């Protein structure tokens, strides 16, 4: 895998001597991971079929070498094939049965269906998606997984409107996707600093909407599958400064780095350090960023 020089320089600044380990991990295919859908099956029902190893930070996540995506269990909605690092967002948000939850950019539905299972199909989820084709996939997956506590909306997340206020909000923002290099090396072709700036502008607008719908003492999880500070820490810093949110620590059985406090001369508030960066070589996963914000 040939990483462009400008991107390599950015990553070397972040990785503090571990760039070679990062690049080597990105050259390997990703591990197959899946999540048991406890709305339809028990963990034993599914793991007894496939030789599986638990994902340490997910209550229902497992690694396997089996082709679970081709299985009858997948077709029946007993499991969802999901990259293991991405399971972290819903685990951090931790919705419960009585919650009202907003998933502002929901397709294809991996995290929506994960939250529905955590909520035992109770409470309410509003799952929003702008793209009409991805919306079809979202609806298909909600139906396949037996989710009945979710309402789907089809609007630009930056223009989402509702009279409701939510206990928990998930903003798994569209991004430059560098965390998916193991699965999709083609992501390198679309990467540029200009695209990073464009994504960051969209993310700030989405954050403004997400924060505006959060109840007092509500929790907002912001996540991406990329490494750019402009798309990660800068957006969290924006939420803290503009909306008065606090950024809380994230614990779990995974290796990670704290959020950056400075990038290319721009300093972020001290709470931003409570966010987490996960690089592929640290847990043999994709790349991921997450921040837990509270009003």
The SS3 call for residue 252 is coil
DSSP-H helix ranges across 129-273: 132-144, 193-212, 233-243
Q: What is the pLDDT of residues 24-40, one digit of tens each?
A: 999 999 999 999 999 99
> Higher-confidence residue: 190 or 127?
127
Q: For the chain, percent helix, then strand, then coil, each to nearest 5?
A: 40, 20, 40
pLDDT of residue 205: 98
Average pLDDT on 128-149 reads: 97
Separation of alpha carbons 290 and 286, rounded Å = 13
Per-residue b or e along 134-150, where b marks 16 or more CB atoms closer than 10 Å to that residue's CB: bbeebbebbebbbbebb
Q: pLDDT by residue (tens digit) across 245-290?
A: 999 999 889 999 999 999 999 999 999 999 999 999 999 999 999 9
The whole-number pLDDT of residue 4 equals 87
Confidence label for 15 from pLDDT (cuts 50, 70 and 90): very high
What confidence score (pLDDT) does residue 33 get?
98
In the predicted structure, residue 2 carries a pLDDT above the cut 90: no
Question: At 66, is the secondary structure helix, strand, or coil?
Answer: coil
What average pLDDT score do residues 152-173 get? 94
Mean pLDDT, all residues of the chain: 97
**How is residue 189 written in tokens?**
């072709």
Region 53-82: mean pLDDT is: 98
Q: Which of 176, 166, 168, 167 is nearest to 200 (CA)?
A: 176
| CB distance 62 to 34 below 8 Å | yes
Give the span between the Cα atoms of 20 and 181, in whole angstroms. Answer: 15
Q: What is the pLDDT of residues 183-211, one digit of tens each?
A: 999 889 889 999 999 999 999 999 999 99
Torsion, Cα 234 235 241 242, to 10 degrees, reads: 140
**Catalytic residue ranges:** 225
For domain 85-294, give the fold.
Answer: Rossmann fold (3.40.50)
């Amino acid at each position: 895998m040939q990483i462009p020089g400008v991107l390599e320089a950015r990553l070397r600044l972040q990785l503090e001597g571990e760039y070679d380990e990062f690049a080597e991990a990105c050259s390997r295919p990703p591990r197959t991971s899946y999540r048991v859908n406890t709305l339809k099956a028990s963990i034993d029902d599914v793991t007894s079929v496939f030789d599986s190893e638990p994902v340490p930070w997910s209550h229902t996540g497992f690694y396997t070498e089996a082709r679970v995506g081709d299985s009858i269990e997948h077709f029946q909605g007993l499991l969802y094939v999901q990259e293991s690092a991405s399971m972290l967002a819903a685990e951090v948000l931790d919705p419960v049965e009585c919650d009202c939850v907003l998933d502002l950019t929901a397709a294809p539905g991996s995290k929506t269906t994960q939250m529905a299972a955590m909520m035992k199909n109770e409470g309410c989820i509003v799952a929003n998606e702008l793209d009409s084709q991805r919306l079809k996939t979202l609806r298909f997956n909600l139906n396949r997984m037996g989710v009945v506590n979710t309402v789907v909306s089809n609007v630009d997340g930056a223009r989402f409107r509702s009279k409701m206020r939510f206990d928990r909000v998930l903003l798994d923002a569209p991004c430059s996707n560098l965390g998916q290099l193991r699965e999709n090396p083609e992501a390198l072709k679309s990467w540029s600093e200009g695209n990073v700036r464009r994504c960051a502008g969209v993310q700030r607008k989405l954050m403004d909407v997400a924060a505006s719908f959060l109840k007092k003492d509500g929790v907002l999880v912001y996540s991406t599958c990329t490494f750019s500070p402009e798309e990660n820490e800068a957006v969290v810093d924006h939420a803290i400064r503009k909306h008065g949110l606090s950024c809380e620590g994230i614990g779990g059985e995974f290796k990670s780095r704290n959020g950056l406090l400075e990038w290319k001369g721009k300093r972020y508030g001290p709470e931003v350090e409570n966010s987490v960066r996960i690089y592929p070589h640290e847990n043999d996963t994709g790349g991921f960023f997450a921040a837990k914000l509270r009003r």
